[in-house]
Chain A
Amino acid sequence: QVQLVQSGAEVKKPGASVKVSCKASGYTFTRHYIHWVRQAPGRGLEWMGLINPSGGSTSYAQNFQGRVTMIRDTSTSTVYMALSGLRSEDTAVYYCAREDFFDTSGYYLYWGQGSLVTVSS
């Protein structure tokens, strides 16, 4: 069965960087884009970007340009999301989600369990 298993919670100081992993299993890793979505406490969902595990190409949301990097390791079927210059507003649960399509309709059917990143001095 398809699974996306994320790394554990992190506590970081302002200005630091964090790297969250998302290990995929149960399907051919290179056939589905992986997106990252975050959710601040008590807030809504915010799209951060995506990576094509096949070639490694990425697309980032404008809000995160220059601060976010997404890479993949095909040998371990793992995608990584790194966020730098952390500030308190980056405290959130970070989710990875697999892109699926039916005809021309895309959606996220499979999600990771979420990784809480807390930014605090």
Chain B
Amino acid sequence: EIVLTQSPGTLSLSPGERATLSCRASQIISSAQLVWYQQKPGQAPRLLIYGASARATGIPDRFSGSGSGTDFTLTISRLEPEDFAVYYCQRYGSPYPFGQGTKLEIK
């Protein structure tokens, strides 16, 4: 069974800085299957990136996804105050595992 490990667990940065979040799979997965979500307290997750690098409709271009094989990255080029949240990666394929999440907090 594929396990997704996200790092770091918590990332403390300031608005305007660049954020780099990692998602590592225990086995090679297709890039088509890698998805990123953002979740804020009390809200359902929000789709950011699918197919490892395609931005969902309405997602600002400061969000970008990259990677292949077992290593995937979500990059936020210049943090805005509303970007501080928890981010999850998911392998979209049975059994649809999620990573444990990275909390992006204001420094």
Chain A residues with CB under 8 Å of chain B are 35, 37, 44-47, 50, 59, 61-62, 95, 97, 102-109, 111-114
Contacts and interface: CB of A to CB of B under 8 A. Distances in A.
B44 A111 contact: yes
A102 B51 CA distance: 9
Contact of A47 (B32, B98, B100, B101): B98
Contacts of B33: 105-106
B47 A107 contact: yes
A52 to B, nearest CB: 13
Interface residues of B, number: 25
Contacts of A95: 44-45
Interface in B61-96: 88, 90, 92-96
Contacts of B100: 44
Contacts of B50: 102, 105-107
Given A61-B96, A105-B32, 12 more contacts: A37-B98, A44-B99, A59-B94, A62-B95, A95-B45, A97-B44, A104-B51, A105-B51, A105-B54, A106-B92, A106-B93, A108-B45
A104 B56 contact: no
Q: DSSP class of B's interface residues: helix, strand, loop or mixed?
A: loop
Interface string B30-51: 1011010101000011010011
18 contacts: A44-B88, A44-B99, A45-B37, A45-B90, A47-B98, A50-B96, A61-B96, A95-B44, A102-B54, A105-B35, A107-B47, A107-B50, A108-B45, A108-B47, A109-B47, A111-B44, A111-B45, A113-B44
A107 B35 contact: yes
B16 interface: no
Nearest to B50: A107
A102 B32 CA distance: 9
Nearest to A63: B95
Contact of A107 (B56, B95, B98): B56
